[in-house]
């Protein structure tokens, strides 16, 4: 299978094995809605790389809350980008920390989710937080996109242990998302929190604009536009902090 990104991983970790939809329905507790998405909105799922003590010279990391004894790189060809989060949630049932490359037509994005051990069932991992990159065209990359994709090569991540290796990918994804506002791949200690605040305010702005369009009272519209301006100013200030 042609790789979207040259990850520079060792050949010993290459799997390139198609995962069948039947495996998901038989091994995981999927809802009726999930099964419908699995059938209608996913073209294919491929296990591209599996990193563990047998395939790469990086020590595993486990403690009472985290199990990073293996990391899987997954490629998912999707048919409906509007179902991106639901699709990712289904794939994240795979019981490893995953780095997922999702493709749609001529573009792709990356999902990285931090997981912890399920207290009710120590053999399972549950998602703590999930992050998606911006969509990237497969051809004609910008300079920032080229730099980001280069940063994903294994040599640019710490080989301390698999947790450090995995979280380094997340750090670079967050830096890439911030570059949309900052223009560089530099990442600060609070970049993730600022991005989350930006997303929250952008959602509030969208909601406010919808309410303003529906409002019939002139005075109410004036007050709502004042609040919208405050949100917009706060948004610009946050962007300036990246």
CB 198 within 8 A of CB 239: yes
Partner residues linked to 19 by β-bridges: 45
CB 69 within 8 A of CB 58: no
Q: Give the residue from 117, 127, 120 showing the smallest Cα distance to 89.
A: 127
Partner residues linked to 46 by β-bridges: 18, 75
Residue 122 has a pLDDT of 65
Q: Chain-centre distance of CA 159, in angstroms?
A: 22
**Coil vs helix vs strand at 92:** coil
Q: Give the residue from 111, 161, 114, 170 showing the smallest Cα distance to 136.
A: 111
For the stretch 87-134, pLDDT in tens is 999 999 998 999 999 999 999 999 999 998 887 776 678 888 899 998
Q: Is 6 exposed, middle or buried (0-12, 13-18, 19+ CB in 10 A)?
A: exposed
Q: Chain-centre distance of CA 77, in angstroms?
A: 15
Residue 123 has a pLDDT of 65
Greatest CA separation for the chain: 68
CB 70 within 8 A of CB 59: no
Q: Is 221 exposed, middle or buried (0-12, 13-18, 19+ CB in 10 A)?
A: middle
**Coil vs helix vs strand at 28:** coil
Residue 111 has a pLDDT of 96
Query: Using CA atoms, how far apart are residues 174 and 187, in angstroms rounded to an integer?
Result: 8
Q: Does the pTM exceed 0.85?
A: no
Query: Using CA atoms, how far apart are residues 201 and 234, in angstroms rounded to an integer?
Result: 8
Residue 132 has a pLDDT of 94
Residue segments in the chain with a per-residue pLDDT below the cut of 50: 1
Residue 1 has a pLDDT of 41
- The 8-class DSSP code of residue 156 comes to G
Residue 117 has a pLDDT of 85
């Amino acid at each position: 299978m042609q790789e979207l990104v040259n990850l520079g991983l060792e050949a010993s970790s290459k799997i390139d094995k198609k995962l069948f939809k039947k495996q998901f329905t038989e091994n995981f507790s999927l809802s009726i809605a999930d099964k419908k998405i699995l059938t209608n909105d996913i073209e294919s799922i491929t296990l591209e790389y599996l990193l563990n003590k047998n395939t790469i010279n990086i020590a595993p990391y486990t403690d009472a809350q985290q199990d990073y004894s293996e990391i899987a790189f997954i490629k998912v060809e999707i048919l409906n980008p509007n179902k991106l989060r639901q699709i990712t949630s289904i794939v994240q049932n795979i019981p490893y920390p995953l780095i997922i490359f999702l493709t749609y037509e001529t573009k792709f994005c990356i999902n990285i989710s931090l997981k912890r051990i399920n207290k009710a069932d120590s053999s399972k991992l549950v998602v703590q937080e999930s992050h998606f990159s911006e969509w990237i065209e497969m051809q004609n990359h910008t300079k920032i996109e080229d730099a980001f994709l280069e940063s994903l090569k294994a040599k640019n991540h710490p080989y301390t242990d698999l947790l450090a290796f995995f979280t380094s990918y997340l750090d670079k994804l967050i830096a890439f998302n911030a570059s949309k506002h900052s223009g560089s791949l530099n990442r600060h200690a609070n970049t993730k929190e600022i991005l989350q605040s930006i997303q929250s305010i952008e959602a509030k702005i969208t909601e406010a604009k919808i309410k303003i369009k529906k409002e019939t009272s002139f005075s109410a519209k004036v007050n709502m536009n004042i609040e919208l301006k405050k949100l917009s100013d706060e948004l610009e200030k946050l962007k300036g902090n990246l």
